[in-house]
């Protein structure tokens, strides 16, 4: 680590990939299947030296992308897991208080000599204060992931996971890092990156990120893959499930995603389900066997009920669907959040497979911000305030890009 007074070269980008096709192939070789959009974003990140911000529902491979990027490029992965109320010292650096204390105890005599002929208390304090730089130096600095990534001798991949869970204060700290690849430590100086880290930020969209943060990143919304790619992913995991069954299973999961579930099943759940069915030695996908293993893919009781009801139709689109008007009179207790108790009876009856109803509800903002993993941005999601915008604008003018 070197401070302000030492001239350092600009950090250098890397040429880890020759083109988009090669990027896609190398990820594939490491078991991560990208589509062209994702491979292009990663390729551009390595060439432009910009962080990538991946937003999207849970379990679509956001975190895994960073892990695979580290594997593919042979870089070390440093991970900052964000959470609410996270102190920036846990993200940047801390002073190693224990070590400082140990040193002062071992050096008690020496410190005593410093102040033994002090004329009064103030003089003694003054003399101790002069030694501040000894105790607030690199020796006593405990780097946390962000500083570690900047200060690393070797190029690294820095994963800033679930950044939407971090407070805005930490988001502001990230701005300096992401635009200048440097960190200022008042007592030591500014630490500049030797090598540009590949930075991957992920977000589940539990809150809106500031415009300033987004502007510094290549932004990509990672959604559920299409059926073909999802099947390819499942097959690549050697789940042991027959290909034809896996293809049908993917279709069933995609059908479940269209239901209004509290937590839609993700790719990892499709993989888990395939493994489960393979372990059970299932040779035919029936709604009974799927219903008995539904808990592998849906994790809320209400969702299990809804998914269970939809399974016969998803497994066999020609199957007769039980009439909800008679068989499920308790349904109004499921908590749609509608104002009218029997609301769903009024418009659900002619819409046998619920397609119209889902389509009508499939609008951005249908969930509030308590909805974990919702890709939508809705009225319940806090908008960027004018104050934030002002801050980002000011920050944008005051700072220049490093590369």
Ligand X SMILES: Nc1ncnc2c1ncn2[C@@H]1O[C@H](COP(=O)(O)OP(=O)(O)OP(=O)(O)O)[C@@H](O)[C@H]1O
**Helix axes of 267-279 and 227-236: crossing angle, nearest 10 degrees:** 50
- Taking CB under 6 A as the rule, does residue 239 contact ligand X? no
CB neighbours of residue 72 within 10 Å:
20
64 or 131: whose CB is closer to ligand X?
64
Question: CA dist 157 to 21, 55, 104, 398, Å?
Answer: 21, 18, 37, 27
User: Of ligand X, Mg ion, none, which one sits near residue 267, judging by CB under 5 to 8 A according to partner kind?
Assistant: ligand X
CB neighbours of residue 186 within 10 Å:
7
- Taking CB under 5 A as the rule, does residue 63 contact Mg ion? yes
Q: Which position's Cβ is nearest Mg ion?
A: 63
Q: Which position's Cβ is nearest ligand X?
A: 61
162 or 180: whose CB is closer to ligand X?
162
Q: How many residues sit in the footprint of ligand X (CB under 6 A)?
A: 15
- Taking CB under 6 A as the rule, does residue 265 contact ligand X? no
For residue 45, which of 223, 176, 197 has the smallest C-alpha distance?
197
- Taking CB under 5 A as the rule, does residue 266 contact Mg ion? no
User: Of ligand X, Mg ion, none, which one sits near residue 147, judging by CB under 5 to 8 A according to partner kind?
Assistant: none
CB neighbours of residue 360 within 10 Å:
11
33 or 183: whose CB is closer to ligand X?
33
* Sign for the pseudo-dihedral over CA of 370, 90, 387, 182: negative
62, 144, 313, 367: which one binds ligand X (CB under 6 A): 62
Minimum CB separation of residue 183 from ligand X in Å reads 26
- Taking CB under 6 A as the rule, does residue 268 contact ligand X? yes
User: Of ligand X, Mg ion, none, which one sits near residue 204, judging by CB under 5 to 8 A according to partner kind?
Assistant: ligand X
Q: Residue 274 burial (CB < 10 Å; 0-12/13-18/19+)?
A: buried
Q: Stretches 57-65, 184-192, 352-360, 380-388: which one binds Mg ion (CB under 5 A)?
A: 57-65
49 or 57: whose CB is closer to ligand X?
57
- Taking CB under 6 A as the rule, does residue 267 contact ligand X? yes
| List of residues 6+ apart from 390 with CB closer than 8 A | none
Q: How far apart are the first and last CA of the chain?
A: 21
Q: Stretches 30-38, 41-49, 209-217, 379-387: which one binds ligand X (CB under 6 A)?
A: 30-38
For residue 289, which of 327, 329, 252 has the smallest C-alpha distance?
252
Judged by DSSP in three states, 184 sits in: strand
**Contacting ligand X within 290-319 (CB under 6 A):** none
**Contacting ligand X within 170-209 (CB under 6 A):** 202, 204
One DSSP character per residue, 129-144 reads HTTHHHHSSGGGEEE-
Minimum CB separation of residue 339 from Mg ion in Å reads 35
63 or 266: whose CB is closer to Mg ion?
63
Fill in the per-residue mask, 339 to 378: x = in contact with ligand X (CB under 6 A), - = not in contact.
Answer: ----------------------------------------
For residue 189, which of 385, 40, 2, 48 has the smallest C-alpha distance?
2
Report the C-alpha gap between 319 and 312 in whole angstroms.
Answer: 6
Largest CA distance in the chain: 96
Task: Give the interface with ligand X as residue ranges (CB under 6 A).
Answer: 31-33, 58-64, 202, 204, 233, 267-268
**Contacts to Mg ion by CB under 5 A:** 63
């Amino acid at each position: 680590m070197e401070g302000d007074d030492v001239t350092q070269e600009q950090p250098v980008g890397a040429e880890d990939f020759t083109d988009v096709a090669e990027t896609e192939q190398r990820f594939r070789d490491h078991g991560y299947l990208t589509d062209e959009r994702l491979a292009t974003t990663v390729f551009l990140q390595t060439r432009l030296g910009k962080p990538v911000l991946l937003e999207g529902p849970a379990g679509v491979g956001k975190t895994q992308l960073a892990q695979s990027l580290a594997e593919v490029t042979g870089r070390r992965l440093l991970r900052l897991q964000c959470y609410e109320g996270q102190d920036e010292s846990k993200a940047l650096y801390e002073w190693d208080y224990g070590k400082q204390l140990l040193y002062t105890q071992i050096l008690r005599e020496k410190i005593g000599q410093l102040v033994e002929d002090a004329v009064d208390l103030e003089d003694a304090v003054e003399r101790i204060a002069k030694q501040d730089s000894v105790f607030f130096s690199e020796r006593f600095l405990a780097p946390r992931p962000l500083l570690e990534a900047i200060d690393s001798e070797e190029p690294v991949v820095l994963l800033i996971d679930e950044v939407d869970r971090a407070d805005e204060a930490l988001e502001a700290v990230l701005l300096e890092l992401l635009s200048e690849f440097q960190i200022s430590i008042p007592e030591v100086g500014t630490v500049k990156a030797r090598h540009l880290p590949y930075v991957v930020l992920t977000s589940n969209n539990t809150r809106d990120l500031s415009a300033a943060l987004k502007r510094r990143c290549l932004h990509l919304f990672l959604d559920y893959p299409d059926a073909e790619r999802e099947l390819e992913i499942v097959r690549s995991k050697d789940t042991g499930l027959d290909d034809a069954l896996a293809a049908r299973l993917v279709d069933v999961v995609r059908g479940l995603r269209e239901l209004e579930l509290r937590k839609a099943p993700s790719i990892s759940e499709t993989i888990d389900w395939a493994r489960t069915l393979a372990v059970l030695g299932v040779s035919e996908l029936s709604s009974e066997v799927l219903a008995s293993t539904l808990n592998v893919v849906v994790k809320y009781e209400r969702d299990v009920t809804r998914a269970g009801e939809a399974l016969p139709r998803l497994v066999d689109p020609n199957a007769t669907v039980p009439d909800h008007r008679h068989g499920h009179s308790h349904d109004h207790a499921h908590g749609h959040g509608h104002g009218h108790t029997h609301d769903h009876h009024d418009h659900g009856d002619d819409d046998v497979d619920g397609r119209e109803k889902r389509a009508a509800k499939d609008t951005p903002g249908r969930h509030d911000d308590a909805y974990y993993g919702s890709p939508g941005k809705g009225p319940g999601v806090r908008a960027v305030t004018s104050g934030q915008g002002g801050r980002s604008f000011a920050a944008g003018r005051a700072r220049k890009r490093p590369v």
